[in-house]
Amino acid sequence: MMTVHEVSKLAGVSIRTLQYYDKIGLLHPTGYTDAGYRLYDDTDLERLQHILLFRELEFPLKDIKAIINSPDFDRGKALEQQIGLLKLKKEHIENLMNFALGIKMLGVRHMDFKVFDRSKLDEYSRQAKELYGNTLEYKKLQEKTKNRTKEEDNLLADRFMLLFREAGEIRNTDPASPEAQSIVRRIQDFITENLYTCSDEILSGLGKMYSGGGDFTKNIDEYGGEGTAEFVDKAIQIYCEKNEEVE
């Protein structure tokens, strides 16, 4: 048996939270000490584990209570479901991180249209390092760019934008055409070769960002002509959907 103080320390949950769980009928202690302190056994701790896992998955307390108190509640099945949901959450977070990293690093710094204020670029770079300094993608990016000069960065940006200019020349054609799909593949290859591994998920997110309005859309359209950003996004989504079908 463990006291409420011991459980609080073990689980990283405040004593007040454990008291509240008891109050609302979510987690009752098995017993009490002579002094009136709550005592928890292994079954209580197992129940607390499920509660905390559901909380990590952002389930409301009233829903957790209904699930755990259900006569059909199966701890084994619940754990399998929690693992599955946590995997989806992990994948979702990783996709968001990669998408944000693409915005920070590719969409701003490396798509240098020479119209952004330099101080903003430096700030984006600083924020990206703080947010993603420990990620594999950021480390790959740092490794590939550590010896580049600003002139080399600008040259790469110009080379990259030539792909959008090329896309602009065929923006009134079918985005599913071999020509359009070839440009998309070269965009993905360029990012992977010069920045970090550009998965289809990242590429899809970047496409939506390019056509999403604001400076990105404006500057791509200035390079390729009005409608280029939207055309590239459509071509990217087709490209990614085809790859998904193949898988």
Tokens of 126: 């600083």
The three-point CA angle 141-235-210 to 5° equals: 50
Q: Which residues are paired to 39 by β-bridges?
A: 3, 31
Break the chain into its structural domains and give their ranges: 2-73, 90-246
- pLDDT for 118 equals 38
- Answer yes or no: is pLDDT of 91 > 70: no
Q: What is the pLDDT of residues 24-39, one digit of tens each?
A: 999 999 999 888 889 9
Q: Tell me the CA distances in angstroms from 17 to 2, 48, 170, one per residue in order.
A: 16, 11, 61
- Choose the most confident range, by mean pLDDT, from 24-38, 102-116, 194-208, 210-224: 24-38
Q: Tell me the CA distances in angstroms from 84 to 46, 80, 166, 195, one per residue in order.
A: 19, 6, 43, 32
- Residue % of the chain over a pLDDT of 70: 76
- 101-105, 163-167, 176-180, 208-212: lowest mean pLDDT where? 101-105
- Answer yes or no: is pLDDT of 246 > 60: no
- pLDDT for 140 equals 65
- pLDDT for 33 equals 87
Band of the pLDDT at 122, cuts 50, 70, 90? Answer: very low
pLDDT greater at residue 129 or residue 216: 216
Q: Are 210 and 187 in contact (CB under 8 A)?
A: no
Q: How far apart are CA 101 and CA 118, in angstroms?
A: 19
Tell me what the mean pLDDT of segment 89-95 comes to.
67
Nearest to 198 by CA among 209, 187, 182, 212: 187
- Radius of gyration of the chain, Cα coordinates, nearest whole angstrom: 26
Q: Are 17 and 57 in contact (CB under 8 A)?
A: no
Fold held by 2-73: Multidrug-efflux Transporter Regulator; Chain: A; Domain 2 (1.10.1660)
- pLDDT for 131 equals 43
pLDDT greater at residue 181 or residue 111: 181
User: How many C-beta neighbours within 10 Å does residue 7 have?
Assistant: 20
Q: How far apart are CA 182 and CA 76, in angstroms?
A: 49
- Answer yes or no: is pLDDT of 192 > 80: yes
- pLDDT for 202 equals 83
Q: What is the pLDDT of residues 127-173, one digit of tens each?
A: 444 444 455 655 666 676 677 777 777 778 778 888 999 999 999 99
pLDDT greater at residue 234 or residue 141: 234
Nearest to 208 by CA among 181, 236, 168: 236
- pLDDT for 95 equals 63
The DSSP code for 25 is T
